[in-house]
Structure 1
Amino acid sequence: MLKAELRKKYMQKRKALSDDEAFLLSEAIFKNFVEYFKPASGDKIHLFIPIAKFKEIDTQLFIDYFFSRNISVFVPKIVDTKLISVEIFNNTKFEFNQWNISEPVSNENSGVLDFDYIITPLLYADKNGNRVGYGKGFYDGFFESISKESKKIGVNYFNPDENIDDVWENDIPLDYLVTPTDVLSFFNKGLE
């Protein structure tokens, strides 16, 4: 299936979820992430602030857990059409950007390139770790700039059941996908 078709299909599936369903699925994704990866004090984790109107996975569960365990938290901010990584703390101030996405007020790029985990938003991922996002390409550019050792982890309400037919050579696949029921690994281009 083409990315445009998958984008439309999974946006509709997401919108069909009630707020309660989305929260319960987010909780299950969070629990699967913690049980599988066992993040620890001193880790550096980059993750997104969810866009409520798109019913993205609730990452506040992750943020609260990370802060309580002395795990450094970084979030994306778009500055001059580039995604930078800003470290946040309990008292970080946020504002809405032109797309109505919550971002830190600070424009200070952390300069961190060796994240332990990058928890990535997406609409869909196939069985090879190829992603369908919103089509802006911010994360592909970000993935190119970071350490190859950083684990790129997608989170999604839905398991992969269709292939993406129009993968481009510049698309950078995920290393893992965490869903409410599974943690899938894409090393060696297949499931573990």
Structure 2
Amino acid sequence: MLKAELRKKYMQKRKALSIDEAFLLSEKILELFLDYFKPEKEEKVHIFIPIKKFNEIDTKIFIDAFLEKNMRVFVPKVVADNLISVEINRSTVFEASSWGISEPLSNEDSGEHHFDYVITPLLYGDPKGNRVGYGKGFYDTFFQSISASSKKIGINYFDPDEEINDVWENDIPLDYLVTPTEVLSFFNGEV
């Protein structure tokens, strides 16, 4: 399917989830993530803050788990059309952006380029690790700026059943996809 079709289809499927369903699925994804990757103290994770109106996966429970493990946590913030990484902790002050995303008040880019994990928002991830986001290209640009050894991990409510037919040259695929039922690894196009 084409990205535009998949974007529409999975946005509708996501919006059809109740608040309770979305939270339970988010918990299952977090549990699989922790069991598979076994993150440790001082590891660095870059993770998105969910957009509530889009019924995104509740990454706040991920952030709490990471901070509990004394990991270094970074979140994205768009400043002057660039995605920067802001390091956060339990006392970080947040405010809603014009897009309705909770963001740290700070506009100070951490300057960090090596992350152990980069947990990426998406609407859909296919069986080859290709992803459909909101179409702004922020993460493709961000992926080019970070260390190649940083694990690019998508998290999604839905299993990858359909291939994306219009993958672009500049699209950067995921290394892993975590759903409520499995963790898929994508290396050399193989799962």
Give the TM-score range, shorter chain. Answer: over 0.9
**Cα RMSD (Å):** 0.5
- Give 1:97 shift: 1.3
- Give 1:85 shift: 0.3
What's the TM-score, normalizing by structure 2?
0.99
- Give 1:188 shift: 1.2
What's the TM-score, normalizing by structure 1?
0.99
- Give 1:119 shift: 0.4
Identical aligned residues as a percent? 71
- Give 1:156 shift: 0.1
**For residue 5 of structure 1, what is the aligned residue in structure 2?**
5
**For residue 125 of structure 1, what is the aligned residue in structure 2?**
125
- Give 1:30 shift: 0.2
What is the total number of aligned residue pairs between the two structures? 191
- Give 1:34 shift: 0.1
**For residue 101 of structure 1, what is the aligned residue in structure 2?**
101
Q: Which amino acid aligns with 1:127?
A: P
Three-state SS of the structure 2 residue aligned to 1:188 is: coil
CA–CA separation in structure 2 for the residues paired with 1:37 and 1:62? 13
Three-state SS of the structure 2 residue aligned to 1:152 is: strand
CA–CA separation in structure 1 for the residues paired with 2:99 and 2:69? 32
Three-state SS of the structure 1 residue aligned to 2:77 is: strand
| Range that drifts further, 94-103 or 48-57 | 94-103
| Range that drifts further, 168-177 or 57-66 | 57-66
Q: Note the alpha carbon deviations across 1:76-113, whole angstroms, 9 max, x for none.
A: 00011010000001010111111111111100000110
CA–CA separation in structure 2 for the residues paired with 1:98 and 1:24? 28
1:135 and 2:135 are equivalent in the alignment: yes
CA–CA separation in structure 1 for the residues paired with 2:129 and 2:46? 18
**For residue 147 of structure 2, what is the aligned residue in structure 1?**
147
**For residue 49 of structure 1, what is the aligned residue in structure 2?**
49
Q: Which amino acid aligns with 1:66?
A: F
**For residue 90 of structure 1, what is the aligned residue in structure 2?**
90
**For residue 190 of structure 2, what is the aligned residue in structure 1?**
190
CA–CA separation in structure 2 for the residues paired with 1:35 and 1:115? 19
**For residue 39 of structure 1, what is the aligned residue in structure 2?**
39
Structure 1 stretches of at least 4 aligned residues deviating more than 3 Å after TM superposition: none
